Amino acid sequence: MGLYSSILIKPDMPDGRYLSERALLYVPFFAMIVFASAIILLLPYDTVYVRDQAYLQMFLVTVVVCTAVFLLGTLHNVLLWMRGKGLVSTPEKRLLCFAGRALRLLFSRMLARALGVFVRDALYLSRLKGRSWSRWFMHIMILGGFVLMFVLDLVVTLSLDVLQYQPMIEESGWAKLWLRDVGFEVAGLMMLIGLSIAAIRRFILKPSIVRTELPDAASIIFLLAVVAGGFVLEGIGIAGTIPGHQENVEYSFLGYAVSVMLPASSGEFYDAAWLVHGIMSALLIAYIPFSKMFHMIASPIAIELDGIMAGKEALS
Amino acid sequence: MIRRLDISSLDVRALMSYDACTRCGECTETCPTGGEAQDVEMVTPRGKILRLRELYKAQYGLRARILGPKKISDAELKEFAARAYECTICGQCRTVCPSHLDTIEMWENMREFLVANSLGPLSAHEPIVKSIENYDNPWMQPRTQRSRWSKRLGEEARIGDSLKDDHEILYFVGCTAAYDPNIRPMAENTARVLTHAKVDFGTLGNEEGCCGSTMMRTGLSESAKAMVLRNIERFERASPSIIVTSCAGCYKTIRQDYPKYGKLPAPIVHVTEFALDLMNSGHISPIGRVDKTVSFHDPCHLGRHAGLYEQPRSILQSIPGVKLVEMHRNREDARCCGAGGGVKTAFPELATGISELRVADAESVGCEVLTTSCPFCYQSLKSAVSARGSNMEMVDLMEFLWNSVHAPR
Ligand code: SF4
Ligand code: SF4
């Protein structure tokens, strides 16, 4: 019995075609995973704050594994969508067709509309704002913080490990102070505010529209632990005067506030705390496709589809 | 052997939407069947989404892929099916969902999935389905009686036969207005208004078939398809410039669902759009005064589904003396009457409870005459008005207009 033994795949389809159709998707997909892993493992990481190389290696391996799990989990979920109505060949082939159509959108007159829809409805959450300012604020803090952190991560990694951009490396460089310190603090603070409101709503206020089951609680607690852990790590770094945390520490304002409560000796645990925070962040990424957080990927697609359909109707 | 759910009837977009639901619950409070009438999570939009997702992921998710599909008991499946049909497909959840899920499509598709898995429609729907299959109408009435309503009008209206002669306008009457004696005035008044405006119109007579809405809303898409194609073929034979209908359900179905199966030979408009055009072009003028406080109930199929909100209101406002008041929940936010989606047939008490809430909405703003433009809303709100012992009058919009148009100067 083959992998696709369900009624969805017509049994008279030659096996060879399954293979070729699947190869078209899986070969580039696994190549992408290998490529991403190679980049993650091969970057120099000269400027990371962790001092113990073994910790760094452990973290990098976890990131590689978690990234692969995230991508595979996402692919698995998306392939399940593809098994829906009207399937005539393999879900893999269908996914490639959809991806092709999505790419074509980039060069069509719908692009401006798609971008507008993305900014207005997926990022700014305009519909939620119209319904409840407080719920919108909560969500925009979490989403905004997440997006900002993602963008900063990309910018900082690129500047440090690829471009070796000095203002990002030097203790008093503008980019170090405003992007690496203030930028991450703001992103983390936004998430912390949003998640705290969400936790209070969910666990204390319990309004009737909120329903808490294990996946809801797990996602919030996991996220809160990662975000709060980041500030604790920062505090340990400052209290223990770890390199990179010695000058202009007040730019990392929340981490600085935490450091005031910590003894200088806490610096001994900096590397361990760094590893725990890093691994938790990586696990969080791996957990996304298997949790309610997968809406981060599916929801913008739903919003885009809705916007594009409405646009097509308007045009016709 | 484990019974494996057949997910091949679920839309790709619907499968994606199940993952896109953030579980935020914005949709739960205003859902007429889940949040307002009864506090049952599985009836709410979120509840239905999460439950179905849980069911198919148990058999197709990653865990199922590794360890094999999980058994789902018949009782669980039956409970889910019954809950899934406790939805009027009013579309309120679509308007509030921050993830912009097209829940209307999702619920209809969910029912297709239930039918494909022999879990739907419910036994309560069967007589109606059988009637449509056998008689081409849900009222178990012979086909030969379909055009009887028009005979009663005599000289009052000039109604042509669009299949025999050329008529610019094709009036698609719909089963309920054609057969139900309480709703017949809707067709009669539409015909009177059109005749008064000297519109050259005809109907498909006894050949008109059920639009297929009931079949689509209960998940019987294959039967619906055959009905749609038959009607399209009749439209082609009639070859009108415009198709007009007075039924909100037929309007939504023909406008939004027919194009999925075939090409309509002419555009379809709802009679409120058409009548407003006739008024604006001077073909009819409401002259009779109605010194009453009037409210308009937006039928879901006309409002949230098709976006027609202003036309009926403009008609009402043009009638001398009318004081139009809006219920607190109006237009996109209008509360459903409770009858749609097969709920009235399978869960009559639930439907009645919801329609009474709507009547209370109208009473709370001092409405004296409640109008609407859908046979099902009219029927259920009228019963709710009597059940509540309300002094309010329930009037179909075309009747209201006709009374003013033909009033003596
Ligand atoms: S369509 Fe209406 S009745 Fe059905 S789930 Fe949505 S809000 Fe509730
Ligand atoms: S409003 Fe939309 S995203 Fe939120 S729970 Fe309801 S269906 Fe899901």
Q: pLDDT by residue (tens digit) across B59-92?
A: 999 999 899 999 999 999 999 999 999 999 999 9
Residue B44 CA: nearest ligand 1 atom is: 5
On whether the pTM is more than 0.90, the answer is yes
- Selected residue of A3, A8, A81 to mutate for chain B interface (largest B Cβ count, 10 A): A81
**Taking CA B398 as the corner, what is the angle to CA B397 and CA B401, rounded to the nearest 5 degrees?**
85
Distances (CA, A) of A106 to A98, A99, A109, A110, A116: 13, 11, 8, 8, 13
Q: Is A1 inside any structural domain?
A: no
Give CATH for domain B125-277.
Answer: 3.40.50
Give the ipTM.
0.91
**pLDDT tens digits, chain A, 316 residues: what are they?**
333 334 443 444 444 567 888 889 999 999 999 999 999 999 989 888 999 999 999 999 999 999 999 999 999 999 999 999 998 888 999 999 999 999 998 888 889 999 999 999 999 999 999 999 999 999 999 999 999 999 999 999 999 999 999 999 998 999 999 999 999 999 999 999 999 999 999 999 999 999 999 989 999 999 999 999 999 999 999 999 999 899 999 999 999 999 999 999 999 999 999 999 999 999 999 999 999 999 999 999 999 999 988 876 665 5
Q: Is A267 inside any structural domain?
A: yes
Q: Is A3 inside any structural domain?
A: no
Domain ranges of chain B: 12-120, 125-277, 285-405
Pick the CATH number of B285-405 from 3.30.43, 3.30.420, 3.40.50, 3.40.47: 3.40.50
B285-405: same fold as B125-277? yes
Residue partners of A113: CB distance under 8 A and separation at least 6:
A307, A308, A311
CA–CA separation, B92 vs A29, rounded Å? 40
> What residues in chain B have per-residue pLDDT under 70?
409
Domain residue limits at A262: 15-315
Number of domains in chain A: 1
Q: What is the CATH topology of the domain spanning B12-120?
A: Fumarate Reductase Iron-sulfur Protein; Chain B, domain 2 (1.10.1060)
Closest-CA residue to A309 (of B221, B254, B100, B16) = B100
Interchain CB distance below 8 Å, A127 and B98: yes
Ligand 1 pocket (Cβ < 6 Å) reads: B 31-34, 45, 87-93, 103, 107, 336
What is the sign, positive or negative, of the torsion defined by CA atoms of A115, A119, A120, A122? positive
Burial-class residue B42 by CB neighbours within 10 Å (0-12, 13-18, 19+): middle
Structure tokens at B380: 């259920």
> In this complex, which of A81, A128, A295 lies closest to B12 when CB atoms are compared?
A81
The H or E element containing residue A128 is: helix A126-131
A84 close contact with B: CB closer than 8 A:
yes
Q: Is A253 inside any structural domain?
A: yes
Q: Is A7 inside any structural domain?
A: no
End-to-end CA distance of chain A: 47
Q: What separation in Å is there between the alpha carbon of B334 and the centre of ligand 1?
A: 12
